[in-house]
């Protein structure tokens, strides 16, 4: 799938999800508001009935047509126009609330004219026997009445939320859908990235194989020419070319197969004590032999470091890969520096080059499989993007650390950290 199409899918999906969320939030808010209004209307009817009973009990008449005032979503005051007996009030409240099926805790208080304060009455439970933590017992006064009581519903929000369980269930389904959509987009982008890496790998592999195949084809044509039999030296030259190109092809195939074996069955390390400096000297000689005489490799090897425990073949490959990369990307006149030192009980190996360096955007990706850094005018640099991935995999298997030093302003420095204490494999 093209990136443009993926972008359209993401945008349309995002708009759809945002629209669904907005609509659902709107309806949840509206339903919550309706629940509050319905509750307030029911409570108002109950409290009006309680006020009527108190009027009859006290042989008084209301001072206002509407004795009930709602001061907040869960707090109501009721004018009774006479003194109130708390026990009688609580009895009437229980009776009316049970009658209208108000299933939530409430508390009430009675205004005292002498102290000009609300005297707390009682907390009445719908379920349970313990007053919930954090429930306030401070009932506010109301200046519009002289004799009144107040009723507060501290758990009203919980009650409404319980009545809206189906809505929250739908919100949960929507959340799962959003997570699934986000995960799907992540998988699509990841698969697209892998597809691009695979495409680049195939292109690189085709280019790597095309050159030696062409050379072998030319050499085979020359050797198969009957006239070439008269020139043994020429046959020997082209035979040597065929042998070199076959070895080159074999090396490339071995690299790919080696990575495949590593990913399938892991590593089988043959641990032994190794002289790191001696191994570096050997790798440097091999590297110089395989490159032009213009390559300069300067060594600064500390004599204080002790033996390191590791797999000889894999450690050799690590060092050679790092040196080979340094030579490839250093430019026309490679100057490579390799230094060893002991730091915080770790053997440190620094391999630096004088190349253009690696941009910060690429530094975290250099150890990814098949990843190759864009090289601008260095299109002749060969490889499949497997070298540093192999290096990182070997280091992880040894419990070593390989990193890229971001501090140099020019060139590139790879840092290999090997614990001084021998490992047990």
CATH number at residue 293: 3.30.565.10
258 lies in the same domain as 386: no
- Each residue's pLDDT tens digit, 178-205: 888 888 888 887 777 777 767 766 766 6
Q: Mark whether 290 and 222 lie in a shared domain.
A: no
Residues 105 and 207 placed together within one structural domain of the fold: no
> Which pLDDT band holds residue 247 (cuts at 50, 70, 90)?
confident
Q: Residue length, the chain?
A: 425
Only one residue has tokens 């319980």, namely 162
- What pLDDT is attached to residue 151? 94
Q: Are residues 7 and 78 in the same domain?
A: yes
Q: Pull the structure tokens for residue 399.
A: 């419990």
Which value, in Å, is the radius of gyration of the alpha carbons in the chain?
A: 41
Residue 125 or residue 406, greater confidence: 125
Its domain, for residue 130, covers: 3-163
pLDDT tens-digit readout, 41-84: 999 999 999 999 999 998 888 878 889 999 998 999 999 988 88
Rounded CA separation 208/389 (Å): 19
For residue 227, the model assigns a pLDDT of 73
Are 219 and 287 found together in one domain? Answer: no
* C-alpha atoms less than 13 angstroms from C-alpha of 229 in its C-beta half-sphere: 4
How big is the CA angle at 339 (ends 351 and 371), to the nearest 5 degrees?
15
- pLDDT value of residue 38: 93
Please report which confidence band the pLDDT of residue 287 belongs to, taking 50, 70 and 90 as the band edges: confident
Nearest to 259 by CA among 340, 208, 317, 186: 317
Residues 70 and 117: beta-carbon distance below 8 Å: no
308, 170: one domain: no
352: buried, middle or exposed (CB in 10 Å: 19+, 13-18, 0-12)?
buried
Run of H or E residues at 278: helix 276-290
Percent of the chain topping pLDDT 70: 83
Task: Give the number of other Cβ atoms within 10 Å of residue 96's Cβ.
Answer: 19
Domain annotation covers residue 324: yes
Alpha carbons 280 and 155: distance in angstroms, whole number: 75
Residue 211 lies inside a defined structural domain of this protein: yes
Do the beta carbons of residue 277 and residue 301 sit within 8 Å?
yes
At residue 421, φ and ψ (nearest 5 deg) are -70, 130
Kindly state whether residues 412 and 385 are assigned to the same domain: yes
- 285 and 411 together in one domain: yes
Instruction: Say how far apart CA 15 and CA 11 lie, in whole Å.
Output: 6
Name which of 77-81, 307-311, 331-335 the model is least confident about.
331-335
Looking at the structure, do residues 46 and 79 belong to the same domain, yes or no?
yes
Q: Which residue has the higher pLDDT, 384 or 195?
A: 195
pLDDT for 290 beyond 80: no
3-state SS class at 398: helix
Query: What's the number of domains the chain is made of?
Result: 3
**Structural domain ending residue among the three candidates 265, 295, 325:** 265
pLDDT-derived band at 211, boundaries 50, 70, 90: low
Select the more confidently predicted residue: 215 or 146.
Answer: 146
Query: Which position has the higher pLDDT, 129 or 69?
Result: 69
Cα 364 from Cα 24, distance rounded (Å): 41
Rounded CA-CA distance 122/149 in Å is 12
Q: Are residues 245 and 316 in the same domain?
A: no
Model confidence at 226, in pLDDT bands (50, 70, 90)?
A: confident
Backbone angles phi, psi at 20, to 5 degrees: -65, -45
Name the residue among 358, 384, 380, 381 with its Cα closest to residue 370.
384
Cα distances (Å, whole numbers) of residue 104 to 124, 129, 156, 160: 9, 13, 7, 10
Contacts of 76 (CB under 8 A, 6+ apart): 43, 44, 47, 68, 69, 70, 150, 151, 152
* 201 neighbors 384 (Cβ within 8 angstroms): yes
Q: Which helix (H) or strand (E) holds 229?
A: none
SS3 (DSSP) at 122: strand
Structure-token pair, residue 12: 């349309």
| CATH number of the CATH domain containing 223 | 1.10.287.130
* Alpha helices, H only, 59-164: 86-99, 156-163
Query: What average pLDDT does the segment 119-127 reach?
Result: 84
């Amino acid at each position: 799938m093209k990136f443009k199409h993926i972008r359209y899918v993401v945008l349309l999906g995002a708009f759809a999800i945002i629209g669904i969320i907005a609509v659902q939030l709107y309806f949840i808010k509206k339903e919550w508001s309706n629940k509050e209004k319905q509750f307030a209307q029911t409570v108002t009817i109950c409290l009006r009935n309680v006020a009527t009973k108190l009027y009859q009990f006290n042989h008084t008449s209301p001072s206002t047509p509407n004795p009930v005032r709602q001061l907040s979503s869960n707090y109501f005051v009721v004018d009774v126009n006479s003194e109130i007996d708390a026990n009688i009030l609580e009895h009437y409240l229980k009776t009316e609330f049970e009658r209208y099926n108000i299933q939530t805790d409430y508390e009430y208080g009675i205004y005292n004219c002498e102290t000009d304060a609300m005297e707390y009455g009682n907390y009445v439970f719908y379920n349970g026997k313990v007053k919930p933590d954090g429930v306030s017992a401070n009932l506010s006064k109301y200046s519009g009445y002289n004799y009144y009581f107040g009723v507060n519903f501290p758990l009203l929000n919980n009650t409404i939320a319980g009545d809206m369980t189906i809505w929250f269930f739908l919100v949960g389904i929507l959340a799962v859908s959003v997570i699934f959509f986000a995960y799907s987009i992540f998988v699509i982008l990841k698969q697209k990235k892998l597809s691009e890496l695979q495409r680049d790998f195939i292109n690189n592999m085709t280019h790597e194989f095309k050159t030696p195949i062409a050379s072998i084809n030319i050499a085979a044509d020359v050797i198969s020419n009957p006239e070439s039999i008269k020139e043994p030296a020429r046959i020997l030259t082209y035979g040597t070319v065929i042998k070199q190109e076959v070895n080159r092809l074999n090396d490339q195939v071995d690299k790919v197969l080696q990575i495949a074996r590593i990913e399938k069955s892991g590593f089988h390390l043959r641990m032994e004590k190794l002289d790191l400096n001696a191994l570096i000297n050997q790798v440097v000689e091999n590297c110089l032999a395989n490159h032009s005489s213009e390559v300069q490799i300067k060594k600064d090897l500390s004599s204080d470091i002790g033996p390191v425990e590791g797999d000889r073949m894999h450690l050799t490959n690590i060092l050679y890969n790092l040196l080979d990369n340094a030579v490839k990307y250093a430019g026309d006149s490679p100057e490579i520096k390799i230094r060893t030192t002991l730091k915080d009980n770790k053997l440190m190996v620094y391999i630096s080059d004088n190349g253009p360096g690696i941009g910060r955007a690429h530094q975290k990706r250099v150890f990814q499989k098949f990843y190759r850094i864009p090289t601008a005018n260095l299109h002749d640099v060969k490889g499949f993007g497997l070298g540093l991935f192999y290096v990182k995999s070997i280091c992880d298997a040894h419990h070593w650390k390989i990193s890229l030093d971001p501090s140099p302003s020019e060139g590139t420095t790879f840092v290999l950290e090997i614990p001084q204490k021998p490992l047990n494999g």
